[in-house]
Structure formats: C-alpha cells, structure tokens
Structure 1
Amino acid sequence: MQPTIGRIVHYTLSEQDQQRITAQQNRPLPDGRSPLSNSAQAGDAFPAVIVRIWDATPGSPLCNLHVLLDGELTLWVTSRAEGAEPGTWAWPPRT
C-alpha cells in the first residue's frame, strides 16, 4: 500500500523516542501542572497520523508522523520508514 497524508499507521517507539517523551512528561505545562500521560516504553506501538511523505527511495518513501500517545502528549517524528523494528511505522492489521 502507498502511504498518503492523513492515513493512520502504527508507530513503534525507539529508545530516543522514549527519552523525548520522558523529557516532555517532566516539563511543566504553561499552567504549571505536569502533563497527564501514561508510560511509553521503547517497543510500544501507538497510532500515528502521516503528515508528510518524502520520496527518498522509489517504492520506499519516508514519512513524517504525528504520534498519538496515551494522554495529553504527542510526538512528532520525521523521515521514518515502514518496518517492524523500533523507530518505524507499519500498516494496522486488518480485522
């Protein structure tokens, strides 16, 4: 399947993603309170919206994604390939 803007995919967090999320969780919001969020570990998968597509390699485009975490936080990741390992995205399984 060809990725298109606005499609929902599953994104698997990498170690670096986990570190960025932890930093966000520890940073107070403008109103002074801590953001409400559940834990997010490397290897966890979350839904993500495709926001931009880069045709870096024919047949294997890279995507910028807006990852929807469990809580108030989100994560923007750039130039991610389709795959099954941490730091990549995959199409949701059909049910």
Structure 2
Amino acid sequence: MPAPTIGRIVHYTLTAADADAINKRRSDFTAFGQTLAGTPDPGHRGATGHVAHVGNHARAGAICAAMIVQTFDGHAANLQVHLDGTDTYWATSRTEGDGEGHWVSLPRT
C-alpha cells in the first residue's frame, strides 16, 4: 500500500463511537437552540454565524467522504470526515483498511 498523502480524498467508515459522538453534538445543538428566544443581535449568544451541528442521523458502518489532513508513520492519518449535514467529524490516527474505523483509497482515474 502506498503511504497516505495530505489532501487525498478517501472513504471512511464510521464506528459506533463516531456515530454516537456526532449524534450527541447534533442533539446538544438542537437543545441549545431551544433555549434561545427571539432574534439575537450580531455578536451575542445565538446570533447567526455560529456553526450548527445538524444533519441526518449518523450510524455505525456508514461510509463518508474524508480528506487526509495529516499523516503519521507512513500508514496512519487524521481525517476531516464530511458528514450528511452542516458539520464535519475529526477522525484521528486512523489506518487504511476494511471495516469500521478505517479508510480506503479511491481508485485513481
């Protein structure tokens, strides 16, 4: 296997822990939004411009596009995982391979 390279797009398979963390952030954001009343002024709590964690329910085994943003020891990588929503997930020290918690390279065309 060739070493992973920064900037490469890969497919990453979510684990149950990944999905739980993603869904918790999204649930926390929804609960926070419910505590806000009215339209806040810019620069104040709840003003637009904050990153919202919303999207479809994440589940273990889901395959997501990800970008390699850092590599280690020629085989592990940190990934910025693109989710089906407004947010991303930071998957650290993941290795290439099959199954949950791993990423696979896409064929070069």
Q: TM-score normalised to the size of structure 1?
A: 0.83
Aligned partner of 2:46 among 31, 53, 72: 31
Task: Give, in angstroms, the shift of residue 39 of structure 1.
Answer: 1.7
The answer to whether the aligner puts 1:52 opposite 2:70 as a matched pair is yes
Q: Which amino acid aligns with 1:72?
A: T
The answer to whether the aligner puts 1:10 opposite 2:11 as a matched pair is yes
Deviations 1:15-46 (A, max 9, x none): 110110111111226638x6330121100000
Relative to structure 1, is the Cα distance of residues 41 and 93 closer, same or farther in structure 2, using a 3 angstrom cutoff?
farther
SS in 2 for 1:27: helix
Would you tell me which structure has more helix in proportion to its own residues? 2
Q: Which runs of 4+ in 1 moved over 4 A?
A: none
Q: Note if contact 1:24-1:73 (Cα within 8 Å) is conserved in structure 2.
A: no
Distance 2:82 2:21 in 1: 14
Q: TM-score normalised to the size of structure 2?
A: 0.73
What's the % identity of the aligned pairs?
43
Q: Which amino acid aligns with 1:48?
A: A
Relative to structure 1, is the Cα distance of residues 15 and 68 closer, same or farther in structure 2, using a 3 angstrom cutoff?
same
- Which one has the largest radius of gyration? 2
2:80 paired residue number: 66
CA RMSD of aligned residues (A): 2.2
* Number of equivalences: 91
